[in-house]
């Protein structure tokens, strides 16, 4: 078996994909968006509860997808909860560069290590969209858009 | 003739240069011919030669190269006519792919003949290329698109189809073979019933032409389309067969050079025969390559190709069925060598990525057949599709790589 | 940079394998690049390699070959974007030829925006491919097609054009360079005036792209089309540039695989960007070949190519003018290296046949520009068109072969 | 210069093309047809006066064209005049095969020699349509069609 496969499908990722965190539809969510990957038909609905000063009080999702997209959605909801919109978007941008292999010095503060488990995606360019589907939908939810597609 | 001993799979494989290469350090196991087929050396040589030795634009020149290029291009049309047993070369139109062929019929025949409330019958098996053009033209004309249902095995439901046919049915457009699950549709019955109801029929042969001999005069379809790249030919070329009696009455589709008789700003008249539908410089070299590809498969013989592929289908079905948690989607009685499957709990994209590392190329996704995916309530499947150059070792490699998937996903 | 000494014509000729061949026992003198250009070895190698080493269908696969094929295909789009200086790759759409590019705009933009009485302005210089699509769409929408006149030299009459523009003008579609007589149209002025009048502009760059550098952001055209086979690329590939703001609002043209977002029988939504207009399997290998061709000409440099061709144009014009009874049709001030001519009493087809026997390939006929022929009151002309690989010896051979014509016709 | 060119452009052909016979529009013509070659824009109008029993009493033409098409039209009018429709059509068929190189034993009776001067066309496949344009138009005129095109 191949090292890069082992790196992609790390324990943490498989765990998040099998037992996604925040996999629910909070009743008090006030922002939501739908993400869709036309390549594989995967869908994700993200739900945010945005408080004062852009604080993300709750983040959750529902949807179908591959291990990478589920794990990515699951981890993202954990990470952005309690952050401000600006902080979240900075993390999204860094994450985007990380999985595209555009930035080797990824730094997302305390979340760096957690997100680094998804860095293996950069060896698999066709899977980058899986890793970023949730992040795009979350951005859209913050911006008020209703539907995003990775294409 | 039908002596399998003379189908030498190693010799066939040697005809395809791509099998000399490795992928991720492993021999290439190519099980994605349903998406596009590999090309034999004879086709590549024909393409190279057409550019390097006899190239010029066709039809409009009296000089030697133009004449030679025209002869080669038109000889290819005749090759395809003979292969399909079309009644005349005027029934063989070159397009850029099967998708354009279907759109041509929708825009030309469809727009001219459909009225509000008329019905276009498709099936749940269709590729998007045989759905969207009809939806677009239905929207323009007020016609209605209906889909023949399929059963849980993925069989085309002939009874339901017969009940759907009626005086409003104007066009029936169905696939000959499902690209996603391999079902062979009883097109002969479909065509006869449609004709009894007074409808014209388009058959999407994109997946059939690589696997079986087709005969336009025996089949009786009004239109039949296929695409060059799936039948071992170049990209950028497709074929539309249409009955001359229909083509003659159809308005042109694309306007431009070569499809005209006389152009003035006041009034333009159009060419007759296939020329009316071939606007602009055609895919000259691609047509030449496609003719060579058709000659190549005919030299091997479709009886042998079909027997070899059915053997692979049976072997692969048997081997895959032994994998726990693997579910084959589509178990029609008559199938081409295409197997769609899912694994419990493992998404097809993850399957695709993992088997690729073992050199195994399969397709994962919706296969441009989302209504079919919806029918089976899956977003995507993994699909292994076979062609004449595959062997049993390819099946074994696929099975082994699926074990890798299971190992990773525990 | 602009040092002509570094344009080594013999080296350039050696890049094109076809010049190794003879025609009727004579060296090939190819003066028909206006109809289609020859291909350099680098393009043939790219085509061969794309089929033999990295071939698979694009966009829909996660396996290695599909990914590689997709990367090569999309890299070509970026090459073309950069070459045209388009603002984004979403403005670069691959079609099968220039004719399809124009039809796409007519069917999509035209059908959605034209109403009864609206005006489409073309010119008398146009190729049929930039006339017939507009006539077809005018017939469907009730719009009216008008043609800007040209003068006795074959010059586009800018004044007349400015007077024709008005509130009813919705679309202006003119050629950048006339394929039949070489006139270079002042497209910048044409575009600016059209924009002032609120019309959108399509420029047919089929004859311009092989001869000059183009810059979409400097030019400001709303749509710009060209065809691969005239710019040393494969057949079966064309390009449509369109401003993103317009493309985004346009309905799809061809329906099928790859141009969709989500398909159900109830409702289908479409992809964004260039994908919306690329239905079905694209001309994958042809796009790769075209990108290689564009890299090839850029490596030589358009300043050198243009200088070389203008030298040939001047030399050929001078030499041909010395032939009694030869009349050059089209003597615009700014011309590309295209010379149309007639000989008193000798029909162009007879000229073509006779010079061909001397190995000289020229085009004879109406050059798909019948309104232009009507303007000059001829049914046909003989046309010599030059490209970067032609040399002065080619001109001498042409002149000598015309002497043969005169000898035969006494 | 080349032999096959000399054979194509024989004196007789050049003479017919420069001085076409029966180049006129007879007022008493009762059949006519228009021929058009979209490849080169050449046109020919043929005029026939058909008498009893399909006898061709007069044959004439007008038009523009290359040496081959003019010579062919000119010679055809001479040859079919005085023949019956059936005789003319037999000659047309034989002539068609001759110029396409499909028949080496061309026999049109007394007219064989005259028509053989056009046999050189068979070396020039792209010019076959020029040689047969008038013959097609004449057939159409006899059949009552109004317009023919060589394609
Ligand atoms: C000016 C011009 N426009 C359009 C075309 C059409 O190009 P294509 O036949 O490749 O579609 C041509 C060439 O034939 C041309 O010269
Ligand atoms: C059944 C079927 N129809 C139509 C098509 C469309 O072919 P193309 O993409 O070459 O136009 C395909 C393949 O993609 C197919 O499998």
Q: Could you list the pLDDT tens digit for every one of the 410 residues in chain B?
A: 444 457 999 999 999 999 999 999 999 999 999 999 999 999 999 999 999 999 999 987 889 999 999 999 999 999 999 999 999 999 999 999 999 999 999 999 999 999 999 999 999 999 999 999 999 999 999 999 999 999 999 999 999 999 999 999 999 999 999 999 999 999 999 999 999 999 999 999 999 999 999 999 999 999 999 999 999 999 999 999 999 999 999 999 999 998 998 999 999 999 999 999 999 999 999 999 999 999 999 999 999 999 999 999 999 999 999 998 999 999 999 999 999 999 998 999 999 999 999 999 999 999 999 999 999 999 899 999 999 999 999 999 999 999 999 999 98
D111 pLDDT tier (thresholds 50, 70, 90)? confident
DSSP conformational letter for C280: S
The domain limits of chain A are 2-149
CA neighbours closer than 13 Å in the CB half-sphere of residue B338: 29
Q: How far is D43 from chain B (nearest CA, A)?
A: 11
User: Given an 8 Å threshold on Cβ–Cβ distance, is D39 in contact with B59?
Assistant: yes
Straight-line distance from the first to the last Cα atom of chain A, in angstroms, rounded to the nearest whole number: 32
Q: Among B270-279, B326-335, C175-184, D45-54, whose mean pLDDT is lowest?
A: D45-54
Distance CA B70, CA B59 (A): 6
The C-alpha atoms of residue A117 and residue A9 are separated, in whole angstroms, by 9
Query: What is the complex's ipTM, to 2 decimals?
Result: 0.94
- Report yes or no: B108 and B78 within 8 Å, Cβ to Cβ: no
Cβ–Cβ < 8 Å for C186, C59: no
Nearest CA to ligand 1 atom 16: C179
- Given a contact cutoff of 8 angstroms between Cβ atoms, the answer to whether C46 and C289 are in contact is yes
3-state secondary structure at position D55: strand
From the CB of B129, is ligand 2 less than 6 Å away? yes
Q: Which residues of D touch C410 (CB under 8 A)?
A: 14
pLDDT at C345: 86
Residue numbers in A near B180 (CB within 8 A) = none
Centre of ligand 1 to C-alpha C129, Å, is 6
User: Among candidates A73, B365, A82, A34, which has minimal Cα distance to C62?
Assistant: B365
Q: Residue A121 pLDDT > 90, yes or no?
A: yes
Domain locations in chain B as residue ranges: 9-40+301-403, 45-298
CB contact under 8 A, B347 and A126: no
| CB of D91 closer than 8 Å to CB of D80 | yes
How far does the CA of residue C174 sit from the closest CA of chain B (Å)? 14
> B98 to chain C: nearest residue by CA?
C280
pLDDT at D125 over 80: yes
**For every residue of C111-178, which 3-state class applies, written as one string?**
HHHCCCCCEEEEECCCCHHHCHHHHHHHHHHCCEEEEECECCCCCECHHHHHHHCCCCEEEEEEECEC
Which pLDDT score, from 0 to 100, does residue A146 have? 52
| Chain A touching partners, 3 or more CB pairs below 8 A | B, C
Contact between C59 and C77 under an 8 Å Cβ cutoff? The reply is no
Axis crossing angle, helix A67-80 with helix A85-100, rounded to the nearest 10 = 150
Q: Which of B133, B117, B175, B132 is nearest to B150 (CA)?
A: B175
Compute CA distances C251 → B273, C109, C115, C129, C264, whole Å.
Answer: 30, 7, 16, 22, 18
CATH topology for B45-298?
Answer: 3.40.640
Is 60 exceeded by the pLDDT of residue C2? no
Catalytic: which of C46, C285, C368, C382?
C368
**Least reliable range by pLDDT among B21-30, B207-216, C312-321, D136-145:** D136-145
Give the span between the Cα atoms of A10 and A1, in whole angstroms: 13
Is C250 annotated in the active site?
no
Q: How far apart are CA D30 and CA D50, in angstroms?
A: 7
Longest dimension (CA), chain B: 73
Determine the topology of domain C9-40+301-403 in CATH.
Answer: 3.90.1150
Within 10 Å of residue B181's Cβ, how many Cβ atoms?
A: 29
Q: Do B21 and C371 touch (CB under 8 A)?
A: no
pLDDT given for residue C4 in this prediction: 47
Kindly tell me whether chain D and chain A come into contact, counting contact as 3+ Cβ pairs under 8 Å: no
Which pLDDT belongs to residue C59? 82
Residue of D nearest to B60 (CA): D39
Q: Which ligand is nearest to the CA of B185?
A: 2
Class of domain A2-149: alpha beta
Statement: residue D112 has pLDDT above 90: no
DSSP letter (8 states) at residue C254 = S
Tell the residue number behind the tokens 């170049």, with chain if given.
B234
Reported as type and span, the H/E element at residue B270 is strand B268-270
Query: What is the residue whose two structure tokens read 């085509």?
Result: C47
Q: Cβ neighbours of residue C139 under 8 Å, at least 6 residues apart?
A: none
Q: Evaluate whether C281 touches B36 at the Cβ level (below 8 Å).
A: yes
Q: Kind of pairing, strands C360-361 and C29-30?
A: parallel
Going by C-alpha positions, the residue among B249, B202, B246, B245 that lies closest to residue B226 is B202
Residue A37 has pLDDT above 90, yes or no: no
**In this predicted model, what pLDDT tens digit does every residue of A20-35 receive, in sequence order?**
999 999 999 999 999 9
Q: How confident is the model over C122-171, as pLDDT tens digits?
A: 999 999 999 999 999 999 999 999 999 999 999 999 999 999 999 999 99
Are the Cβ atoms of C44 and B64 closer than 8 angstroms? no
Whole-number pLDDT of residue C301? 97
* For the ranges A88-92, B58-62, B181-185, C377-381, the one whose mean pLDDT is highest: B181-185
Euclidean distance between CA atoms A151 and A141, whole angstroms:
17
| Residue D38 confidence (pLDDT) above 80 | no
pLDDT at D150 exceeding the cut of 70: no
Q: So what's the pLDDT on residue B303?
A: 96
- Side-chain half-sphere CA neighbours of B331 within 13 A: 11
What is the nearest CA distance from B82 to chain D, expressed in angstroms?
Answer: 21
Residue B347's alpha-carbon distances to A42, A67, B258, B322, in angstroms, are 10, 7, 49, 19
What pLDDT does residue D108 have? Answer: 83
Ligand 2 pocket member B103 (CB < 6 A): no
Half-sphere exposure of A38 (CA within 13 A, CB side): 23
| A72-86 confidence digits (pLDDT tens) | 999 999 999 999 999
Query: How close A149 comes to chain C (CA, Å)?
Result: 8
- Dist CA C367 CA C370 (whole Å): 7
- For residue C327, how many other CB atoms are within 10 A of its CB? 15
- Find the helix packing angle between B284-300 and B64-84, rounded to 10°: 40
pLDDT of residue A53: 83
pLDDT at residue C1 above 80?
A: no
Q: Which of A38, A124, A127 sits opposite C260 (nearest CB)?
A: A38
Q: Are strands C119-123 and C169-175 parallel, antiparallel or unpaired?
A: parallel
What does the pLDDT look like over C250-289, one tens digit per residue?
A: 999 999 998 998 999 999 999 999 999 999 999 999 999 9
User: What is the average per-residue pLDDT within C189-217?
Assistant: 98
- Mean pLDDT over the full length of chain C: 96
- Residue C5 near chain B (CB below 8 Å): no
Q: Which of A39, A126, A149 sits opposite C67 (nearest CB)?
A: A126
3-state helix, strand, coil in chain C (%, to 5): 45, 20, 35
The backbone region for C122, taken as left when phi is positive above 0, alpha when psi lies in -120 to 50, beta otherwise, is: beta
- B97 Cβ closer than 6 Å to some ligand 2 atom: yes
Q: How confident is the model at residue A38 (pLDDT cuts 50, 70, 90)?
A: confident
- Name the burial class of residue A105, with classes exposed (0-12), middle (13-18) and buried (19+) by CB atoms within 10 angstroms of its CB: exposed
Helix axes D128-143, D67-80, angle to 10 degrees: 40
| Structure tokens given for D82 | 């005085």
Q: What is the pLDDT of residue B2?
A: 41
CA distance D86 to C152: 50
More confidently predicted of A48 and D149: A48
Token pair for residue C121?
């302005």
> What would the DSSP string read from start to end of C296-317?
HHHHH-HHHHHHHHHHHHHHHH
Q: Chain A residues within 8 A (CB-CB) of chain C? A: 36, 38-39, 41, 124-127, 149, 151
CA distances from B361 to A142, B31, B257 (A): 39, 5, 41
Report the C-alpha gap between B286 and B288 in whole angstroms: 5
| pLDDT band of A1, cuts 50, 70, 90 | low
Q: Which chain D residues have a beta carbon less than 8 Å from that of B90?
A: none
Pairing of strands B223-227, B238-242: antiparallel
- CB contacts, 8 Å: C61 with chain A: 126
Q: 3-state DSSP call for residue D95?
A: helix
Cross-chain residue pair B408–A1, CB shorter than 8 Å: yes
DSSP string, B178-242: -TTT-BBP-HHHHHHHHHHTT-EEEEE-TTTTTTS---HHHH--SEEEEEGGGGTS-SS-EEEEE
pLDDT of residue B192: 98
Chains contacting B (3 or more CB pairs within 8 Å): A, C, D
How many whole angstroms separate alpha carbon B345 and alpha carbon B406?
10
């Amino acid at each position: 078996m191949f090292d890069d496969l082992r790196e992609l499908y790390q324990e943490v990722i498989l765990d998040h994909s099998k037992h996604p965190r925040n996999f629910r539809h909070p009743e008090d969510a006030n922002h939501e968006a739908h993400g869709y990957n036309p390549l594989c038909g995967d869908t994700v609905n993200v739900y945010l509860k945005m408080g004062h000063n852009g604080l993300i009080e709750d983040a959750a999702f529902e949807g179908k997808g591959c291990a990478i997209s589920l794990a990515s959605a699951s981890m993202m909801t954990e990470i952005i909860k309690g952050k401000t919109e600006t902080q979240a978007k900075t993390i999204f941008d860094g994450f985007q560069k990380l999985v595209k292999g555009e930035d080797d010095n990824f730094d997302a503060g305390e979340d760096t290590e957690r997100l680094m488990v998804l860095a293996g995606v950069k060896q698999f360019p066709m899977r980058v969209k899986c890793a970023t589907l949730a992040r795009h939908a979350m951005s859209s939810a913050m911006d008020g858009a209703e539907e995003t597609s990775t294409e | 003739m039908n002596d399998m001993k003379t189908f030498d799979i190693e010799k066939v494989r040697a005809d395809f240069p791509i099998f000399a290469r490795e992928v991720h350090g492993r021999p290439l196991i190519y099980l994605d011919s349903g998406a596009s087929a590999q090309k034999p050396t004879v086709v590549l040589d024909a393409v190279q030669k057409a550019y390097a030795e006899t190239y010029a634009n066709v039809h409009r020149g009296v000089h030697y190269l133009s004449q030679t290029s025209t002869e080669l291009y038109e000889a290819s049309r005749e090759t395809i006519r003979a292969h399909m047993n079309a009644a005349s070369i005027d029934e063989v139109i070159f397009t850029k792919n099967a998708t354009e062929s279907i759109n041509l019929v929708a825009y030309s025949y469809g727009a001219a003949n459909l009225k509000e409330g008329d019905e276009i019958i498709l099936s749940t098996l269709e590729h998007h290329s045989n759905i969207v053009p009809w939806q677009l033209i239905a929207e323009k004309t007020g016609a209605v698109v209906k889909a023949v249902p399929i059963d849980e095995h993925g069989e085309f439901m002939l009874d339901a189809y017969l009940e759907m046919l009626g005086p409003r049915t104007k066009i029936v457009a169905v696939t000959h073979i499902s690209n996603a699950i391999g079902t062979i549709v009883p097109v002969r019955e479909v065509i006869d019933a449609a004709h009894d109801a007074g409808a014209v029929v388009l058959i999407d042969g994109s997946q059939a032409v690589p696997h079986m001999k087709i005969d336009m005069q025996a089949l009786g379809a009004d239109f039949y389309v296929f695409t060059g790249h799936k039948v071992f030919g170049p990209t950028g070329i497709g074929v539309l067969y249409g009955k001359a009696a229909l083509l003659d009455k159809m308005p042109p589709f694309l306007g431009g050079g070569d499809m005209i008789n006389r152009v003035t700003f006041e009034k333009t008249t159009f060419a007759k025969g296939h020329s009316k539908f071939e606007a602009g410089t055609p895919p000259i070299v691609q047509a030449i390559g496609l003719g060579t590809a058709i000659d190549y498969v005919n030299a091997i013989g479709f009886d042998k190709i079909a027997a070899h592929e059915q053997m692979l289908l049976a072997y692969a079905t048997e081997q895959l069925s032994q994998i726990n948690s693997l579910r084959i989607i589509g178990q029609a009685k008559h199938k081409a060598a295409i197997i769609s499957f899912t694994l419990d709990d493992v998404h097809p994209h993850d399957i695709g990525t993992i088997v690729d590392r073992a050199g195994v190329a399969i397709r994962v996704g919706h296969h441009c057949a989302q209504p079919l995916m919806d029918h089976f309530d899956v977003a995507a499947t993994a699909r292994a599709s076979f062609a004449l150059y595959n062997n049993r070792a390819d099946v074994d490699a696929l099975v082994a790589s699926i074990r890798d998937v299971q190992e990773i996903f525990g």
